[in-house]
């Protein structure tokens, strides 16, 4: 047995499924998950000593690559001062100021420890601010594993959602309305039916858990209009896209395309922690005043604003603010996806690609899908064969058809060339 197989067998005896987050188990693609021992720049090394070009990057946070010197220095210095205090630190303030300086839609922000915690708190805040209970989410968008968000569509727009996980009571799902992503007609109908009862709509501007699917401009424009008209708050989940698709995040991209576009509440994670457990949600002062200790919406966390995590996040944000960073990162990502498309075309394989900043996606179909239903028609078995061929060649892609990929500043032309040659052989 390989070391990976030995570790996986050992892990399954003490951890459910052998993993602490389901996608890591390789159930979607088959085979044995790789147990990673270290990361170096754009590469990771597994327990058998095999080296891979890493296009997961811890599912997005490692925008600088693994072990960036400035980040390591900041984290080591912070660790020497203390791991956790359960009391305020100046670095929390610095990180909040750094984020707010890049996000005009937010005047205040609250730091938490995970994206799930941030989206859960954002919805509670929206409900508290509006004194309403119902909210809309979209099929294929993932906002964490909170009960009310683990919900699939009901039988029609007049009905509410159904739990997608055991342990979630039907009663918890009764306030969640699930619509099709990018479907403007469904938006109009849902607001006509439920407008006065809606606290908020939560949406990923680029959905990263059905691979990579953008919200269309007409869809996002109408969503913004309807929320304003009916007094519902627009919650933009940028846990994945925040500071990953651009310095102004995805909301900056849509602000350039839609006059007056601004979310009411923004949720961030991943990049703002630089690989440490850290996330945040923010809004105007008027909305944030409802949050404890100022208002009646309760939220708390012992490790919120952790001094080591904030040091990691602050160092990361300061690096990505440097001139030309996103131009270079975007060019690398585009070179990768254009190359994958070219190689697929050479081999007569249906293939479509998209990217923004350091985030990308590809589909084994001739056109980019616009919603979850279409994504689900992808040739899963062909993807699984492609995934394992790439893995064997030393290229580590997401072990699931429905996950976006990530490029870091540490990826070189040589890394991308090696990836494209591996893809050429795999698709052949």
What is the set of active-site residues?
Answer: 142, 237, 270
Hey, is 237 helix, strand or coil?
strand
Report the chain's terminal Cα–Cα distance, integer Å. 30
- In terms of Cα–Cα distance, which of 413, 341, 371 is closest to 153? 371
Q: Residue written as tokens 């306030």?
A: 175
Hey, is 242 helix, strand or coil?
coil
Report the C-alpha gap between 125 and 136 in whole angstroms. Answer: 15
Report the C-alpha gap between 411 and 358 in whole angstroms. Answer: 11
Specify the pairing of strand 359-363 against strand 395-396.
unpaired
Report the C-alpha gap between 274 and 270 in whole angstroms. Answer: 6
- What is the DSSP code string of 114-146? -HHHHHHHHHHHHHHHHT--EEEEETT----S-
Report the C-alpha gap between 48 and 220 in whole angstroms. Answer: 46
């Amino acid at each position: 047995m390989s070391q990976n197989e030995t570790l996986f067998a050992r892990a399954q005896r003490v951890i459910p499924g052998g993993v602490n987050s389901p996608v890591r188990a390789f159930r979607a693609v088959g085979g044995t998950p790789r147990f990673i021992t270290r990361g170096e720049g754009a590469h990771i090394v597994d327990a058998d000593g095999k080296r891979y070009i890493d296009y997961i990057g811890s599912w997005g946070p490692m925008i600088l690559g693994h072990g960036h010197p400035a980040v390591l220095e900041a984290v080591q210095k912070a660790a020497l001062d203390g791991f956790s205090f359960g009391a305020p630190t100046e670095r929390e303030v610095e990180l909040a100021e750094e984020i707010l300086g890049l996000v005009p839609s937010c005047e205040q922000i609250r730091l938490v420890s995970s994206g799930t915690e941030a989206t859960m708190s954002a919805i509670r805040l929206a409900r508290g601010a509006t004194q309403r209970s119902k909210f809309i989410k979209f099929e294929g968008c993932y906002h964490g594993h909170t009960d009310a968000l683990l919900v699939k569509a009901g039988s029609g727009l007049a009905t509410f959602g159904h739990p997608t996980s055991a342990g979630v009571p039907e009663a918890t799902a009764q306030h969640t309305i699930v619509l099709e992503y990018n479907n403007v007609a469904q938006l109009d109908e849902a607001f006509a039916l439920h407008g006065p009862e809606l606290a908020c709509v939560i949406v990923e501007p680029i959905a990263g858990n059905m691979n990579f699917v953008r919200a269309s401009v007409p869809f996002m424009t109408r969503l913004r209009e309807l929320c304003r008209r009916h007094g519902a708050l627009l919650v933009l989940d940028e846990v994945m896209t925040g500071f990953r698709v651009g310095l102004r995040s995805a909301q900056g991209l849509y602000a350039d395309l839609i006059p007056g576009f601004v979310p009411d509440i923004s949720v961030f994670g991943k990049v703002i922690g630089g690989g440490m457990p850290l996330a945040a949600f923010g809004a105007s002062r008027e909305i944030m005043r409802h949050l404890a200790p100022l208002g009646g919406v309760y939220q708390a966390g012992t490790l919120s604003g952790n001094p080591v995590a904030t040091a990691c996040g602050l160092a990361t944000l300061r690096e990505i603010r440097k001139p030309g960073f996103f131009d270079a990162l975007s060019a690398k990502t585009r070179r990768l996806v254009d190359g994958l498309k070219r190689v697929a075309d050479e081999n007569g394989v249906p293939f479509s690609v998209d990217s923004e900043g350091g985030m990308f996606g590809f589909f084994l179909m001739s056109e980019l899908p616009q919603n979850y239903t279409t994504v689900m028609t992808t040739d899963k078995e062909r993807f699984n064969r492609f995934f394992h061929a790439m893995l064997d060649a030393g290229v580590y892609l997401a072990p699931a058809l429905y996950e976006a990929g990530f490029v870091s500043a540490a990826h070189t032309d040589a890394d991308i060339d090696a990836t494209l040659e591996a893809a050429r052989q795999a698709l052949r």
